[in-house]
Amino acid sequence: MSTFKLPETRYALSGDLSIAYQVMGNGAIDIIMVPGVFSHLEFMHEFPGYTAFLQRLSRFARVVSFDKRGQGLSDRMSNAPSLEERMDDVRAVMDEIGARRVILFGFSEGCPMSVLFAATYPDRVSHLILVGGFARAADRMPDDLWQAGLEHTVKAFGRGEMIRTVIASQSRSADAVSQFAKLERLSCSPGAMRTLLELNRQIDVTSILPTLQVPALVTHRKTDAQVPVALGRKLGEQIAGAKYVEYPEGDHCFWVGDVEALHGDIEEFVTGHRKAPSVGLERVLATVLFTDIVDSTRSAAEMGDERWRRLLDDHDRLAEEEVSRHRGNLVKSTGDGILATFDGPGRAVRCALAMRSAARDIGLPLRAGLHTGEIEIRGKDIGGIAVHAAARVMAQGAADEILVSRVVTDLVAGAGLKFVQRESFEPKGLPGRWDLYAASD
């Protein structure tokens, strides 16, 4: 079975500390993703668009992401890491995976450290990509507002308030705020965040920018609410020969919104060419959900057409509500079920669980099947192997059963969802035996 699997989390030793990292793809060039102030290798895959962004880069590169020391799945420490220590961590990961020379992709707070690393070790960096970055952290907030801002950030830490500037377009969604709040808590503790922000306030790599000897691409979104675009422009201007690209709109996080232009600019900067967008056919990574009312033909015969139609209308209404509530896309009704897609597998499973509960309340026995893979977007419809796979998985289910493929369970590891393993099967028209799991409330 050729399908996406969540990268395995491994560890590199940096001094006495273990640094968590993941590798995606097997390209001839390496891209090291240097994260911003929040990171958690495994939970990040729950964010819509994040996995797909890395997967797109992995078409031409081996993409390596990591958690900085003191955060996410890396070892904790008593103090915030200095830029020098953060450089040690990057070098440790590079040595662990056997990467002699890499492309550094610095995001937000990760940009200054990426600059310092590239200037210090030009023989180990072939290209420098800076997204949503800055050179001097103190430029982001005036001194007279800094202390009050710090106290508010620490007091509100873990509640997801920072989504208002980091992913502003999703700040009105309760589910998105809750998800971001969890990322904050998984990244580090409030006290650790205070120490980190106080240290970051002192960061200034302005004097180093003219010494850079590696090709640099600086990108920024004009509507970035976390790091003002003026700081991105300044960063680009101070690096000799840097290519600066400004996008008219978008959030701070690079994986949110319209990312096609950013992907193209990165690929062209690194490889010298960019893949032309598919004409009339777009391929994306998604979790596909199929549902089906069990024994619908028999039920319709027993109830009569009028009563059955009312029940189907109730079913369609609750399906539309639950898919919308879980931020999915209702592709179509299949007559006695639905086809929907989600850019987060955890939300897809939770949607299926919610639909099963709601269907029980109106007396309908529902079954569902889920699989994560690449789909083809054909106007308002979808196609591809992942769609067929989800249908095959659903067909193995009994009434009130929600079955998922192995890749779904891999992707939602640590998300608090419960699964019971079922017998494997050989899906018609697809290679190999597939492991199946039943989701439970």
Tell me: the pLDDT tens digits for 315-338?
889 999 999 999 899 999 887 889
Predicted pLDDT at 279: 46
Predicted pLDDT at 141: 85
CA atoms of 89 and 105, how far apart (whole Å): 15
CA atoms of 44 and 51, how far apart (whole Å): 8
Predicted pLDDT at 299: 67
**Angle, helix 190-200 to helix 143-155, in steps of 10 degrees:** 160
Average pLDDT for 413-435: 85
**What phi-psi label fits residue 208: left (phi over 0), alpha (psi between -120 and 50 degrees) or beta?**
alpha
**Token match 């009994």: residue?**
398
Q: Which class is domain 10-271? A: alpha beta
The dihedral built from the CA positions of residue 121, 123, 125 and 126, taken in this order, carries a sign that is positive
CA atoms of 420 and 144, how far apart (whole Å): 55
Query: Which of 81-95, 122-136, 328-342 is modeled with the greatest confidence?
Result: 122-136
Question: Would you list the domain boundaries of the chain?
Answer: 10-271, 282-440
Average pLDDT for 172-200: 91
Average pLDDT for 400-420: 89
Predicted pLDDT at 333: 86
Q: Are the CB atoms for 244 and 233 separated by under 8 Å?
A: yes
Which ranges of 83-155 does DSSP label H, i.e. alpha helix? 83-97, 110-120, 143-155
Predicted pLDDT at 296: 67
Residues in the chain: 441
Q: Which class is domain 282-440? A: alpha beta
Average pLDDT for 325-354: 90
**Token match 């998800």: residue?**
179
Residue 157 has pLDDT above 80, yes or no: yes
Tell me: the pLDDT tens digits for 267-291?
999 998 877 554 445 677 889 999 9
Residue 235 has pLDDT above 80, yes or no: yes
Please provide the average confidence, as pLDDT, over all residues in the chain: 89
